[in-house]
Amino acid sequence: KRERDFASKDQPAMTIDGHRMEIVANIGNVEDAKQAVALGGEGVGLLRSEFVFMERSAAPTEEEQTDIYSAVAQILGPERPLIIRTLDVGGDKPLPYLPMPHEENPFLGERGVRIGFDRPEILRTQLRAILRSSGLGNVRVMFPMIARLEEFRMAKGMLEEERQKLGVAPIPVGIMVEVPSAAVIANQFAKEADFFSVGTNDLTQYTLAMDRGHPKLAPYCDGLDPAVLSLIGMAAKAANQQGKWCGICGGIGSDPQAVPLLIGLGVKELSVSIPTIPSVKAQVRDLSYAECQRLAAQALAADTAADVRNLSPLAEE
């Protein structure tokens, strides 16, 4: 492992040739927000709002949710972005008060935003709470498991209706790119979304058709597979071409072998696990953007994930 300067955790992350990266955190509750800021996080790239809904016997009310999102927004302050992802549960993550019919393939069933279309009151209540907290910080909303443009339009339409009823200002709205179809038609999505955040955990699972938690397949379910990298590159390129931005919130954002490739593919924001914020920032400061672009091109042309990981200088990470 390389020696790195973790002391500058509060400084921005800029490559040696002046390319700025935004290093933000994946968080799951209010306490995480404090830790993310303490460790130099420049904001929150993914608030997994599931925590608000879990371990309860009834859905949280609009007031309860507003209080929680407002608390996080206030910890982050007016500058640091807070991206709140709407509820992402499904057949595999059941909630007692949300009975779901048995599904043969829960990962291909009513997950993520699809639940919000089936139970619009749950999604609308959450959207109102997010909108009501938005005046207290730099709040953005993001929809999970978007596969088709119609789904994004429908979710965005619900957001806009609730916004008009509340009479608050518009907020940026983005999508998780975690279903391959969203990456494949990223050009179309980039015209209508304000930002993308690639969920590489699910994107890898759906691209390789390998359950992300499967004990035997886990070693092969690698986000550095050239097929997955190619989809990430498509998403980033489409966003950049439309003057939008593309981030990453899947687990590979914290993988030192992935960081140079993601930068080289045109990703602008890395949302990483809290403890890795200082090390990811330190790594970015050691990199050259031109070199990252060269490495990314090599990775896209590689045959296998193992070949990608063996690329020099990634192999030394």
Task: Select the binding partner of residue 250 from Mg ion, ligand PEP, none (C-beta < 5 to 8 A, by kind).
Answer: ligand PEP
Closest separation in Å from C-beta 50 to ligand PEP: 8
Closest separation in Å from C-beta 70 to ligand PEP: 22
Q: Report how far residue 248's alpha carbon sits from residue 233's, in angstroms, rounded to the nearest whole number.
A: 11
253 binds ligand PEP, rule: CB under 6 A: no
Closest separation in Å from C-beta 79 to Mg ion: 27
Closest separation in Å from C-beta 201 to Mg ion: 5
202 binds Mg ion, rule: CB under 5 A: yes
- Nearer of residues 110 and 178 to ligand PEP, judged by Cβ: 178
Residue choice 32, 110, 151, 178 for contact with ligand PEP (CB under 6 A): 178
199 binds ligand PEP, rule: CB under 6 A: yes
* Residue number, nearest CB to ligand PEP: 199
174 binds Mg ion, rule: CB under 5 A: no
Q: Determine the size of the site formed for ligand PEP (CB under 6 A).
A: 10
250 binds ligand PEP, rule: CB under 6 A: yes
Closest separation in Å from C-beta 202 to ligand PEP: 3
* Residue number, nearest CB to Mg ion: 202
- Nearer of residues 111 and 244 to Mg ion, judged by Cβ: 111
